Amino acid sequence: MTARAWHSPLFATFVAGLLSCAATLANAASFSGPDYSGVYDCKGVDQHEGPYSGTVTLVRNVAQSSGEYGAYDFKLEVPGYGTYPGQAVSLGKQLAIHFALTDPTPKDYGTGIATVFKDKQGRVGFRKFYYEPEFKGGNSGTETCVRRK
């Protein structure tokens, strides 16, 4: 590389970008919150559909979890209704969840808030309230999920 290349604006921008990335990685806090990853057995009551059972899978996104904040890939599977992939974030014993049925036709998507608990057997679980603004003119429901051992 010639001496002139070291002084080019493009090279200076490249070096500045590398230094910025290194500083960001050095300053990113490692994840210190509880990890709620796992498979959960769920029972819920939907305002329009009534009682149902399903399975939730939470997988923590390591790259996006930092400090006390957890980021998760979320998937709810309900036999007879379908699969609802989405995202969840955690802070302490709270989860915020967004989900959407893979078939967009019924507009069956929504947002939930959940509180984490431990049951009498020491298993982690969460209780969720969800709201679906467009499903059948508006909908809500509750769900209780317990992580499998």
Q: pLDDT tens, 76-98?
A: 999 999 999 999 999 999 999 99
Average per-residue pLDDT for the chain? 88
> Do residues 70 and 90 both lie within one domain?
yes
What is the average per-residue pLDDT within 39-49?
Answer: 98
| Domain containing residue 67: CATH number | 2.40.128.120
57 has pLDDT over 90: yes
Instruction: Please spell the DSSP secondary structure of 58-77, one letter per residue.
Output: EEE-GGG-BTTEEEEEEEEE
* pLDDT of amino acid 2: 52
Rounded CA separation 146/65 (Å): 22
Give the per-residue pLDDT at 21.
44
The helix/strand count (H/E) of the chain reads as: 2, 8
Identify whether residues 19 and 62 lie together within a single domain: no
* Total domain count, the chain: 2
Let me know whether 122 and 64 are in one domain: yes
**Both 10 and 68 in a single domain?**
no
* 8 — pLDDT class (breaks 50, 70, 90): low
Same domain, residue pair 42 and 26: no
6 shares a domain with 70: no
Do 43 and 20 lie in one domain? The reply is no
Same domain, 77 and 133: yes
Pair (139, 73) in one structural domain: yes
Angle at 127 between CA 125 and CA 130, to 5 degrees: 140
Look at residues 123, 124, 127 and name the one whose alpha carbon lies nearest to residue 115.
127
pLDDT digits (tens, 9 = 90+) for 9-27: 654 444 455 444 443 444 4
Domain residue limits at 8 = 1-30
Predicted TM-score (pTM) of this structure: 0.81
Q: Are residues 53 and 106 in the same domain?
A: yes
| 20 and 43 housed in the same domain | no
Q: Are residues 21 and 84 in the same domain?
A: no
Do the Cβ atoms of 39 and 5 come closer than 8 Å? no
